[in-house]
């Protein structure tokens, strides 16, 4: 095996030059605060001092192998006047690297810093935990500086062992392994510590990587203390593509332009399988062939070139154009405007774009992204989402064609698919969010809401226009959104940042009692009760059925002018004056309820109920969304828009809400399982069962007792007519969640039992299953992933992200518990997603 010493020395020198070139390029793009964080990452990891950010007490590992403090770092550290750098022999950290867009055409002033901290494999679990805490504290300090720095602890042997990790917001868990290493090798920038052995191994020796590296050290051509080895990449297993595609879709929720490029690259890789040429190998071959051109070695340019070649081969000109636009938008450069300074990114990007032949109007439109509003953002979002779905469908076909099992554990695939379901899957009640970091703001200072009654040319419902209510403005104007009911339209406008309490709102609804004052109040109420954006969904939430986290009821928004014959006294109570059947006329003062809630998966849902039974319909819908083990919403608000007696109406509706939620979530079995209502003189009952809630009009006392005795004596489910007790244990019933398919595994003496709960909370039992749980889970996931592929060619194909949930029933201390399948027999850790 040829390991020429002179060639090795030349490669080492050229590696230092490449790294210095990338460091210089990164520094030229960073803001002042970004540069400070960039330069201080290494010293903050190297030193563990009480005065410095990132300090962790105890025996926290610190010290970077071969670390030398630079003068610029000394200047930054001088801000902490009580800190004095001292030499240390500790070297728990072997190397510190940035990866991703850093130092590439894809880097912009607000790019994240993704930092790999490669630590000594001899660190024990407690030491790794302390080091992780140190990194988390540096991340928090960076955030205070306005910079997002994500740290990844890397065991140098983990890629060889293919150790599986739990998915977090920025950790892909078991969904990617070699593909992540592929990206790291072609984009890494060394901040401190050892160099990477991989750069010294020729591409044609990757198949004998270990032998080649051993020869380098055996011949003493390198000092082992100066190098760290993460292993070679001869090829990527086919099993990895499916999980990697899911992960890129997940990342696409917040970084759509980057996700399009990476998903296209995965599609290209899978198309070439089994003879895939990895970009890291292409990069290394160019570098070893003597290429010194930074643009030729640019990690983002390499992605674009490979994707472009693939799409041209496929004659897919639409996605080629989209890939170029995503690439340009990712750079955040404005080439249609005069450039005061021609930095390296401007020069490089103009060179790449020279053969794109973009008209000036397109470039100007892309450069106006800061001013994009709903039309542009919706168009861009649809194009991005369609491209992601096309790529994902192709990868599903690849997985089926190669008959592979997904190399991703069931808990990870469940977490990722539920996050994707919450973000991309549309249902009639869901409020769609159209701006995942595509444009900075969609705010409109003036909007007009127009109601179209039934029987007109246009579909009935409510329309939003971003113009004043003037004929000169409205004629020819295009509506921005249409919904069946007003509250959903307002929720859509609010959560997409189109309206806020300062927006001038106009209404044209001659056939309705709705007032502009009530609408403006609803926007103010929304703003006071719910933020426009939410904290990222935690992994532990996605491991469980969806629950309602925040709830709002808007009472009589559609009927604010409903009047009664007399004003209620200030001391009126539900006992003396029921708002649901008031006075001699037994008038029901609640004629409409609009319900809005945010789930634990960060889904936003909107429902409208009208008529005499609005309160019943609302409570049935609400409580059907709550499984028996759910937590009560963290916040519940009731707002009433009646012009008369709004406080009393709101108080009584709120009491009904609390009563119904309490009965639905009662786990003791001692509470009441029904609630009686008199609505406009009519008697109704609301009946609570383990798997369902239903309403029934009660004609007479016998009818009422028939219902409660049927439930108590028979113990039967009203909806199904089957004995719930004979099918599934109570703990399964209590975890049943409407709208989802759930599998519960219970170990028995002769195999294990499987309880399957469908979307309607109906239970089927399969006893004494003796096969492999793992194979069953993978088979079910494959079926659901591809189920929508069986549609006819003329139907719109969609990807089903609403994959089943898998749980295990375990017994501890004499009682049964539910754990997510794949959690390793213990409750999954709370890790932010």
In tens, the pLDDT along 473-520 reads 888 889 999 999 999 999 999 999 999 999 999 999 988 889 999 999
Please state, rounded to an integer, the average pLDDT across all residues of the chain.
85
Determine the 3-state secondary structure of 677 from DSSP: strand
Q: CB of 761 within 8 A of CB of 738?
A: yes
pLDDT tens figures, 581-599:
988 888 999 999 999 999 9
pLDDT digits (tens, 9 = 90+) for 652-701: 999 999 999 999 998 776 555 788 899 999 989 898 887 788 898 887 55
Tokens read off for 682: 């009519």
Q: What is the pLDDT of residues 396-423, one digit of tens each?
A: 788 778 776 655 566 766 776 777 777 7
Whether residue 44 contacts residue 50, with contact meaning beta carbons closer than 8 Å, is answered with no
Contact 503, 444 (CB under 8 A): yes
pLDDT at 252: 65
- Rounded mean pLDDT of 812-833? 60
Across 296-307, average pLDDT: 97
Do 549 and 591 contact (CB within 8 A), yes or no?
no
With 50 as the cut, is the pLDDT of residue 793 above it? Answer: no
Q: Give residue-wise pLDDT tens across range 542-586.
A: 888 889 999 999 999 998 766 555 565 555 665 556 899 988 888
**Residue 403 pLDDT:** 72
- Whether pLDDT at 11 is above 60: yes
The strand pairing partners of 196, in sequence order, are 228
Residue whose token pair is 């008199």: 678
* Least confident segment among 92-101, 163-172, 340-349, 500-509: 163-172
- Condensed to tens digits (0 to 9), the pLDDT of residues 320-346 reads 999 999 999 999 899 998 877 778 999
Highest mean pLDDT among 116-120, 349-353, 470-474, 718-722: 116-120
Count Cα atoms within 13 angstroms, Cβ side, for 768. Answer: 1
Q: Say if CB 706 and CB 739 are below 8 A apart.
A: no
* CA distance to 172, 580, 641, 691, per residue, from 553 (Å): 38, 16, 11, 24
Per-residue pLDDT for 813 more than 50?
Answer: yes
């Amino acid at each position: 095996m040829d390991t020429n010493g002179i060639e090795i020395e030349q490669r080492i020198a050229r590696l230092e030059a490449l790294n210095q070139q990338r460091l210089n390029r990164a520094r030229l793009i960073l803001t002042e605060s970004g540069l400070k964080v960039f330069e201080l990452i290494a010293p903050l990891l190297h030193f563990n001092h009480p005065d410095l950010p990132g300090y962790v007490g105890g025996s926290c590992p610190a010290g970077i192998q071969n670390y030398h403090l630079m003068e610029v770092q000394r200047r930054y550290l001088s801000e902490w006047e009580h800190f004095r750098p001292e030499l240390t022999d500790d070297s728990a950290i072997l190397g510190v690297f940035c990866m991703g867009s850093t130092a590439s055409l894809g880097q912009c002033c607000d790019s994240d810093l993704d930092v790999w901290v490669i630590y000594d494999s001899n660190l024990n679990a407690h030491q790794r935990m302390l080091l992780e805490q140190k990194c988390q504290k540096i991340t928090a300090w960076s955030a205070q500086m306005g910079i997002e720095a994500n740290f990844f602890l890397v065991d140098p042997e983990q890629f060889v062992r293919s150790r599986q990790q739990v998915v977090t917001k920025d950790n892909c868990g078991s969904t990617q392994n070699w593909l992540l290493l592929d990206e790291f090798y072609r984009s890494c920038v060394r901040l401190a510590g050892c160099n990477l052995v991989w750069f010294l191994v020729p591409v044609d020796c990757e198949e004998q990587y270990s032998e080649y590296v051993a020869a380098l050290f055996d011949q003493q051509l390198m000092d082992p203390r100066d190098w760290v080895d993460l292993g070679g990449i001869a090829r990527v297993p086919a099993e990895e593509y499916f999980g990697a595609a899911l992960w890129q879709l997940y990342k696409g929720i917040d970084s759509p332009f980057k996700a399009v490029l990476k998903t296209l690259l995965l599609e290209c890789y899978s198309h070439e399988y089994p003879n895939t040429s990895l970009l890291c190998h292409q990069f290394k071959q160019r570098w070893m062939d003597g290429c010194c051109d930074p643009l030729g070695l640019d990690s983002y340019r390499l992605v674009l070139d490979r994707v472009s070649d693939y799409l041209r081969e496929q004659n897919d000109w639409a996605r080629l154009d989209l890939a170029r636009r995503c690439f340009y938008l990712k750079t955040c450069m404005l080439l249609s405007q005069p450039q005061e300074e021609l930095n390296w990114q401007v020069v490089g990007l103009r060179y790449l774009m020279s053969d794109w032949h973009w008209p000036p109007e397109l470039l100007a439109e892309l450069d106006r992204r800061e001013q994009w509003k709903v039309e542009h953002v919706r168009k861009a979002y649809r194009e991005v989402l369609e491209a992601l779905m096309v790529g994902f469908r192709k990868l599903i076909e690849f997985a089926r064609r190669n008959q592979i099992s997904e190399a991703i554990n069931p808990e990870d695939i469940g977490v990722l698919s539920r996050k994707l379901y919450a973000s991309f899957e549309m249902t009639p009640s869901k409020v769609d969010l159209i701006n995942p970091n595509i444009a900075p703001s969609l705010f409109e200072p003036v909007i007009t809401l127009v109601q179209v009654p039934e029987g007109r040319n246009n579909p009935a419902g409510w329309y939003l226009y971003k113009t004043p209510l003037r004929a000169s403005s409205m004629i020819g104007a295009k509506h921005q959104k249409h919904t069946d009911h007003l509250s959903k339209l307002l929720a859509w406008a609010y959560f997409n940042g189109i309206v806020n309490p300062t927006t001038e709102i106009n209404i044209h609804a001659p056939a309705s009692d709705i007032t502009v004052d009530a609408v403006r109040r609803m926007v103010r109420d929304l703003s006071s009760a719910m933020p426009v954006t939410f904290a990222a969904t935690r992994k532990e939430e996605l491991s469980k059925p969806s629950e309602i986290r925040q709830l709002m009821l808007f009472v009589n928004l559609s009927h604010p002018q409903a009047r009664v014959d007399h004003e209620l006294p200030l001391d009126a109570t539900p006992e003396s004056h029921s708002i649901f059947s008031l006075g001699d006329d037994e008038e029901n003062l609640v004629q409409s309820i609009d319900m809005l809630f945010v789930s634990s998966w960060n889904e936003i849902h909107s429902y409208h109920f009208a008529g005499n039974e609005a309160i019943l319909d609302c409570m049935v819908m609400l409580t059907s969304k709550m499984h028996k083990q759910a937590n009560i919403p963290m916040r519940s608000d009731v707002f009433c828009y009646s012009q008369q007696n709004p406080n009393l109406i709101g108080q009584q509706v709120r009491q009904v809400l609390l009563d119904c939620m309490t009965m639905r979530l009662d786990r003791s079995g001692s509470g009441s399982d029904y609630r009686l209502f008199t609505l406009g003189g009519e008697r109704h009952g609301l009946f609570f069962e383990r798997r369902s809630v239903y309403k029934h009009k009660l004609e007479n006392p016998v009818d009422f007792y028939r219902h409660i005795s049927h439930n108590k004596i028979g113990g039967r489910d009203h909806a199904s007519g089957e004995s719930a007790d004979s099918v599934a244990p109570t703990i399964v019933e209590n975890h049943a969640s409407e709208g989802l398919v759930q599998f519960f595994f219970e170990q028995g003496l002769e195999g294990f039992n499987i309880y399957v709960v469908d979307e309607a909370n109906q239970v089927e039992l399969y006893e004494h299953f003796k096969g492999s749980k793992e194979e069953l889970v993978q088979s079910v996931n494959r079926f659901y992933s591809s189920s929508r592929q069986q549609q006819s060619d003329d139907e719109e194909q969609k990807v089903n992200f609403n994959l089943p949930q898998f749980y295990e029933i375990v017994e501890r201390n004499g009682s049964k518990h539910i754990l997510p399948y794949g959690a390793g027999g213990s409750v999954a850790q709370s890790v932010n997603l």
